[in-house]
Structure 1
Amino acid sequence: MIVCLLNLEDGLFQIPDCRVRRLSLSNINSTQHLREFQFAFAKLMSDYKVEKVAIKQRPMKGKFAGGAVGFKLEAAIELIGDLNIELISATQAKQVLKEQPLPVEFSATGLKAFQEPAFVTAYVACMA
């Protein structure tokens, strides 16, 4: 699970430093490992006082379908009681980006290249 924090305050975006760029599940067949992932994610969101989590919705079948691990991680996150979760569809993302393009080139954000989809998803969630 790729992580990107994004704040929108008074019309200005801020990308706070985060101690984690990605969280993973070491053993997909272990309930204990899934609970540990869920706890670590919930703790991270609590520590950074995250109000909303945006997840890029992936198709269930087809060329770009998500894998079993991804769906397990998403379910674990969605079941965290204190979090406001929003699934962002590709259609919704395209529409928002068409109406309100990114105000900055991704390369200027200081994030790693693999965080770009997470950044765009967070931006879309802020603007929707």
Structure 2
Amino acid sequence: MRVCGCEISASEVRLAVAYHDDEGGVEMLRLKTTRVVLEDDTSEADLRSVLADLQQFSRDHEIDVCVIKTRAKKGRMAGGAVSFKIETLIQLVEGSKTKFVSPVTLSHYAKKGLDEYPEKLPVYLKNAFLSGAYALTKPGFLA
């Protein structure tokens, strides 16, 4: 099973694909594409283009589930409108389910549940990888 961890920041989604290796550990698939950017959220063509890019990414890497790190809907740390449009586009990707995981859960998992990060993991993909790794290791999460 392959899980795509997604972290949405401003007008981009960062993508990290996690899977179980032969020993049952969590590994990250090395990818050329690790970000998809929504240039103009008022352009129907741009929205369709991002959806098409996400669909193609999902097909190319055989993604079963996308796991999105949630953002606050209200308050000082609330996500922007563009980020919620991107979230919706991820949910519309055909052939894969979408699950959500909270930042607090990911923080706890990083401290207590994760043995180690993959070698040479770019800093900007840390939370995306954590989302995917958490989904793979948490019993019942993907059910």
Aligned-partner residue type, residue 37 of structure 2:
S
Map residues 85-100 of structure 1 onto 2, 5 A cutoff. 85-94=98-107, 96-97=109-110, 100=112
In the alignment, what sits opposite 2:34?
A: 21
Query: Does residue 6 of structure 1 match 2:18?
Result: yes
Q: Whose helix proportion is higher, 1 or 2?
A: 1
- Specify every segment of 5 or more residues in structure 2 that has no aligned partner in the other structure, as ranges: 1-12, 139-143
Q: Offset at 1:90? A: 2.8
Per the TM alignment, residue 81 of structure 1 is displaced from its structure 2 partner at its CA by 2.8
Considering Cα pairs closer than 8 Å and 6+ residues apart, tell me whether 1 or 2 has the greater RCO. 2
Cα distance in structure 2, aligned partners of 1:125 and 1:2: 16
Query: Structure 1 stretches of 5 or more lacking a match?
Result: none
| Alignment match of 1:76 (pick from 65, 69, 89) | 89
TM-score, normalisation: structure 1 = 0.87
| TM-score normalised by length of structure 2 | 0.78
Q: How many residues align?
A: 125
> For the residues of structure 2 that align with 1:39 and 1:103, how far apart are their CA atoms?
35
Identity %: 23
Q: Structure 1 counterpart of 2:18, which letter?
A: L
If each structure's strand is expressed as a fraction of its own residues, which one has the higher value?
2
